[in-house]
């Protein structure tokens, strides 16, 4: 359909960092939005995409595998060069400049001027869904799932808050072309965060 914002994303080449985590769910959602999705495990694969999703999973494992596969520095360079990225749950941890409660030696890619605490919502058995008000995405609340998610404990001057829980805990932030969220919209079928990411990819491309 002419003028349809989703149809405009059909030529976009977006990657999902496929080292660990819920890669398939993001790939399916992005494909449904019309993007050309590629699974990214190697630097040469990163070079072929215009934007990158860092999925939920185990941040310490993603960190270790990113170094083993030679991906840490290329992803950091892509962030510096302005590549749009969406980090969900563990992906938010990987995009944070500062970590609290990280395991010994754990590193992140960085880029978001925030401090993030890992596993802030407890164990997987304490997972829950919530309705969030996200004014930047419209008046209708978004339904999202929190699964052992992190929380943003401090937001630096360079980053801005997109959403908070009723108790004030920050769960969504953005900074330039980087978008980091504590939860899993891909599980509940919520597409607006991915649409926002694709709009950034389209503008950057």
Our count of domains for the chain comes to: 1
Please indicate, yes or no, if residue 100 is contained in any of the structural domains.
Answer: yes
126 is a catalytic site residue: no
pLDDT score at 141: 93
* Intra-chain end-to-end CA distance of the chain, in Å: 21
Active site residue 44: no
| Active-site residue identified among 25, 174, 186, 190 | 186
CATH code where residue 104 lies: 3.40.50.880
Full-model pTM: 0.91
Active-site residue (options: 89, 174, 190, 194): 89
Q: Decide if 30 is inside a domain.
A: yes
Residue numbers of the domain that contains 100: 7-204
**Which listed residue (25, 26, 184, 194) is catalytic?**
184
pLDDT tens profile 137-195: 999 999 888 888 899 999 999 999 999 998 899 999 999 999 999 999 998 889 999 99
The string of DSSP codes covering 105-162 is T------EEEEEETTTT-SGGG-EEEEE--GGG-SS-EEEEESS--EEEEE-TT-EEE
Q: What is the mean pLDDT of the chain?
A: 91
Residue 40 lies in a domain: yes
* Residue 136 falls inside a structural domain: yes
**Is position 32 within any domain?**
yes
CB 131 within 8 A of CB 164: no
* pLDDT tens digit sequence for 103-115: 999 999 999 999 9
What is d(CA 188, CA 117) in angstroms, rounded to the nearest whole number? Answer: 23
Q: Is residue 178 part of a domain?
A: yes
The band of 1, judged by pLDDT with boundaries at 50, 70 and 90, is: very low
Write down the pLDDT at residue 180: 98
Q: Is position 1 within any domain?
A: no
Residue 48 included in any domain: yes
Q: Which comes out higher in pLDDT, residue 119 or 16?
A: 16
């Amino acid at each position: 359909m002419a003028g349809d914002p989703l149809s405009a994303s059909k030529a976009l080449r977006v990657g999902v960092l496929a080292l660990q985590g819920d890669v398939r769910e993001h790939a399916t959602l992005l494909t449904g939005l019309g993007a050309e999705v590629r699974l990214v495990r190697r630097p040469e694969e990163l070079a072929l995409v215009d934007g990158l999703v860092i999925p939920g999973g185990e941040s310490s494992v993603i960190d270790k595998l990113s170094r083993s596969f030679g991906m840490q520095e290329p992803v950091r360079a892509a962030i510096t060069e302005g590549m749009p990225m969406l980090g969900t749950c563990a992906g938010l941890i990987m995009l944070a400049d500062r970590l609290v409660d990280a395991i010994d030696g754990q590193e992140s890619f960085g880029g978001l001027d925030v401090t993030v605490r890992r596993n802030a919502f407890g164990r997987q058995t304490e997972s829950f869904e919530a309705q969030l008000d996200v004014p930047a995405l419209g008046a209708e609340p978004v339904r999202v799932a929190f699964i052992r998610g992190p929380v943003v404990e401090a937001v630096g001057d360079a980053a801005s808050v997109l959403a908070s829980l009723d108790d004030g805990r920050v769960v969504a932030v953005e900074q330039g072309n980087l978008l980091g969220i504590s939860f899993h919209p891909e599980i509940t079928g919520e597409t607006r965060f991915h649409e926002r990411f694709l709009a950034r990819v389209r503008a950057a491309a």
